[in-house]
């Protein structure tokens, strides 16, 4: 191959990367605007004092080997500014699970409300989270169920907002956006940054253009009769993307899945690089399965992935685009902070997050296995899980 052909190919590649990087910089600017507009819009679910909803609630939380901060998260459910009664039920399988002592401590502190455990080793399918929720639901006494992942931290008005939205005509379920909360280590901080600097704004952009139909495990509230209409939790016992699938069934039944203009906290507990990569790859393969085209195109939202090679290949304005890509990511991060009243993020990790995304993005296309709570699964093409014996 001649030197001139090599030069032409490098020029073409540099030009392509420059174009893709410019497109990504535009996306980051647009996302920043849409994030700020999203939070400044009217919140139909904002609780009102004039006509408070008093619907009794059962909050179901799947538990498995939780950390010491679980106590605070569970206490938040018991400290709601909600006029109706609330019962909190945790579901787990192992009678020696450390979460048992934490739940008992919460029950002792809030003795005037029902805080209970359902310990049941019964597995209804490959998805242990759904198994725990199914077992916990058998102890629920109310007609309204609120499913919440155990790593979620809520504010005092959360249940009032959720139920206010659920009371709207045509609403079959309510879900919530979530932001990341990092711990003391760099790995959990990177995990939280992946939510706040990418996932959260990408959902808002997709909602703005009407191409997202989300339902998140951060909160899924629905009436018991709605749950029965979509086949009950048993319909999702082998499903990886169980939260999305629940929302999809609700929509197929002719109802809306509503979302308040607020977010709850997702506590990131990645203790090391391996935990971070495994969790990121599982999340990436889940999103890729739900929306293959959208996930494939999501690389454009990371202009650094193109600006860096553009600069190295001598593409048009490659260095300028690289600086704009880094600045755009920072501005988007600042916009999310402002819109959702988040604490200052570790900005110095933003370039490392972009690098992490590229690694995870490439890895997500190779292989069909995921790790979840220490268990390995093989992923079928329909999104169902099979325990991996290897």
Q: How does pLDDT run across 285-336, given as a tens digit for each residue?
A: 989 988 898 899 899 899 998 888 888 777 667 789 999 999 999 999 999 9
| Range of weakest confidence among 63-67, 103-107, 205-209, 232-236 | 63-67
- Higher model confidence: residue 108 or residue 2? 108
**Among 212, 225, 227, which residue's Cα sits nearest to residue 177?**
212
CA separation for the pair 364, 376 (Å, rounded):
15
CA separation for the pair 93, 95 (Å, rounded):
6
Opening angle at CA 74, ends 73 and 77, nearest 5: 100
Superfamily of domain 57-167+215-258: Spore Coat Polysaccharide Biosynthesis Protein SpsA; Chain A (3.90.550.10)
The fraction of the chain above a pLDDT of 90, given in percent, is 66
Position 88 confidence tier, pLDDT thresholds 50, 70, 90: very high
Opening angle at CA 86, ends 82 and 90, nearest 5: 135
CA separation for the pair 84, 289 (Å, rounded):
39
Q: What is the pLDDT of residue 305?
A: 86
CA separation for the pair 83, 280 (Å, rounded):
39
- Higher model confidence: residue 48 or residue 209? 209
Q: What is the mean pLDDT of residues 29-58?
A: 77
Cβ proximity of 246 and 213 under 8 Å? no
Residue 379 β-bridge partners:
385
CA separation for the pair 301, 299 (Å, rounded):
5
Taking only the tens place, the pLDDT of each residue in 335-390 is 999 999 999 999 999 989 988 999 999 999 988 888 877 778 888 877 787 776 55
Q: What is the pLDDT of residue 48?
A: 53
Q: What is the pLDDT of residue 216?
A: 95
Q: Is the pLDDT of residue 165 over 70?
A: yes
Q: What is the pLDDT of residue 64?
A: 85
Q: What is the pLDDT of residue 7?
A: 58
What six digits make up the tokens of 133? 């929720």
pTM: 0.91
Determine the straight-line distance between the first and last CA of the chain, rounded to whole angstroms: 46
What's the whole-number average pLDDT of the chain?
Answer: 89
Half-sphere exposure of 337 (CA within 13 A, CB side): 12
Opening angle at CA 116, ends 113 and 121, nearest 5: 170
* Domain residue ranges in the chain: 12-41+280-387, 57-167+215-258
Q: What is the pLDDT of residue 5?
A: 55
Q: What is the pLDDT of residue 46?
A: 60
Cβ proximity of 230 and 249 under 8 Å? yes
Q: What is the pLDDT of residue 59?
A: 97
Taking only the tens place, the pLDDT of each residue in 203-257 is 999 999 988 889 999 999 999 999 999 999 999 999 989 999 999 999 999 999 9
Q: Which residue has the tokens 């919530």?
A: 176
Q: What is the pLDDT of residue 343?
A: 93
């Amino acid at each position: 191959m001649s030197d001139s052909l090599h030069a032409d190919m490098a020029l073409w590649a540099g030009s392509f990367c420059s174009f893709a990087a410019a497109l990504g910089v535009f996306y980051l600017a647009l996302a920043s605007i849409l994030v700020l507009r999203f939070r400044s819009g009217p919140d139909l679910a904002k609780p009102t004092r004039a006509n408070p909803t008093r619907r009794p609630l059962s909050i179901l939380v799947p538990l498995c080997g939780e950390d010491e901060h679980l106590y605070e998260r569970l206490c938040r459910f018991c400290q709601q500014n909600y006029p109706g009664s609330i019962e909190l039920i945790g579901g787990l399988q192992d009678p020696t699970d450390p979460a048992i002592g934490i739940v008992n401590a919460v029950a002792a502190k809030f003795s005037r409300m029902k805080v209970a455990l359902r310990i049941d080793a019964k597995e209804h399918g490959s998805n242990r989270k759904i198994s725990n929720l199914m077992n916990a639901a058998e102890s629920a006494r109310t007609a309204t169920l609120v499913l919440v992942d155990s790593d979620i931290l809520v504010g005092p008005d959360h249940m009032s907002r959720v139920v206010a939205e659920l009371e709207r005509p045509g609403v079959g379920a309510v879900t919530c956006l979530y932001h990341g909360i990092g711990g003391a280590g760099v790995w959990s901080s990177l995990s939280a940054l992946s939510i706040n600097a990418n996932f959260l704004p990408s959902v808002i952009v997709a909602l703005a253009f009407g191409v997202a139909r989300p339902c998140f495990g951060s909160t899924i509230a629905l009436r018991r009769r709605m749950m029965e209409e979509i086949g009950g939790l048993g319909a999702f016992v082998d499903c990886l993307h169980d939260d999305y699938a629940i929302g999809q069934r609700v929509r197929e039944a002719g109802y809306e899945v509503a979302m308040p203009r607020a977010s709850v906290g997702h506590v990131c507990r990645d203790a090391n690089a391996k935990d971070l990569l495994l969790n990121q790859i599982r999340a990436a393969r889940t999103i890729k399965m739900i929306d293959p085209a959208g996930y494939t195109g999501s690389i454009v939202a990371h202009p650094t992935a193109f600006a860096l090679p553009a600069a190295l290949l001598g593409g048009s304005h490659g260095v300028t685009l690289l600086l704009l890509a880094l600045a755009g990511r920072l501005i988007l991060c600042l916009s999310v902070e402002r819109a959702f009243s988040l604490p200052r993020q570790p900005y110095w990790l933003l370039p490392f997050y972009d690098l992490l995304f590229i690694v995870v993005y490439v890895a997500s296309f190779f292989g069909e296995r995921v790790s979840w709570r220490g268990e390995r699964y093989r992923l079928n093409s329909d999104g169902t899980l099979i325990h991996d014996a290897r």
